[in-house]
Amino acid sequence: MNEDSRLNEWFVPKFGSLRFRAFVGLLFLPYTGMCISFALIGSMLSVSIMWDRVVAITLIYGLALGISAHAADGLGSKKIKPWGSYFTTNQLWLLLILSLAGAYSVGVYYIVFYVPMLSILAVLEGFFVFAYNFELFKGRFHNDLGFVISWGVLPVLAGYVMQTNQIETLALAISGVAALVSYTHIRLSRPYKMLKRTGGDESKIKRLESYLKIISLGTISTGLFAVLFRLLI
């Protein structure tokens, strides 16, 4: 794999040390931001908002997806992954364990005292962190469906459950929209990464990159707008 092609990604800063740039790249911030935004959108569907829980679900997905899942992806794939020469196996395991422990510490607190139904989603997301990224069960869950469920559907439901301790029709409907957005993203992302890796048609790379920017930044903007709207009403 041409790892330099990933250091040239639009979401990787052009300043700082190589290790710093690689760490920011490892986080895939626009795509992590999409997943957090799905959780925020789910939270904003509640009639009343408990803002400490909004902060908590943001922290949970920031740690569990932004760091843990991406570290697991670097560790578990049978294919060569980006950033592989910048971090040791031990460093990736440390990132995975500490960030996942932090996420579940926050989650368990709310499960025990306020939202027991969140435990179902916590178990499912934890399952996908390992089953998807480590390609367990012969890679049966490392596919578009596994990605869409873990990265689109479940975050919306988790955000809603965090506020209400229940799942209702509206949350299910919006999770379906998140599923479509996630599916579109992954279907565009795969050829984009392949072209970046092999040095393919530059015009096609730029076009796919533009689509990915629109999807990711559009989703993040929607999440932020939903939060702002609920703050103001």
Lowest mean per-residue pLDDT among 10-24, 38-52, 170-184? 10-24
Lowest mean per-residue pLDDT among 39-43, 148-152, 194-198? 194-198
CA 145 to chain centre: 15
> What is the rounded distance in angstroms from the CA atom of residue 121 to the CA atom of residue 123?
5
Q: How many CB atoms lie within 10 A of CB 139?
A: 14
> What is the rounded distance in angstroms from the CA atom of residue 58 to the CA atom of residue 66?
11
H-type helices in 67-168, by residue range? 70-76, 89-113, 118-133, 136-139, 144-148, 154-164
pTM, two decimal places = 0.93
CA dihedral 93, 28, 180, 149 (to 10 degrees): 10
**What pLDDT was estimated at residue 233?**
83
DSSP at 143: S
> What is the rounded distance in angstroms from the CA atom of residue 118 to the CA atom of residue 98?
21
pLDDT tens readout for residues 145-187 = 999 999 999 999 999 999 999 999 999 999 999 999 999 999 9
> What is the rounded distance in angstroms from the CA atom of residue 36 to the CA atom of residue 200?
31
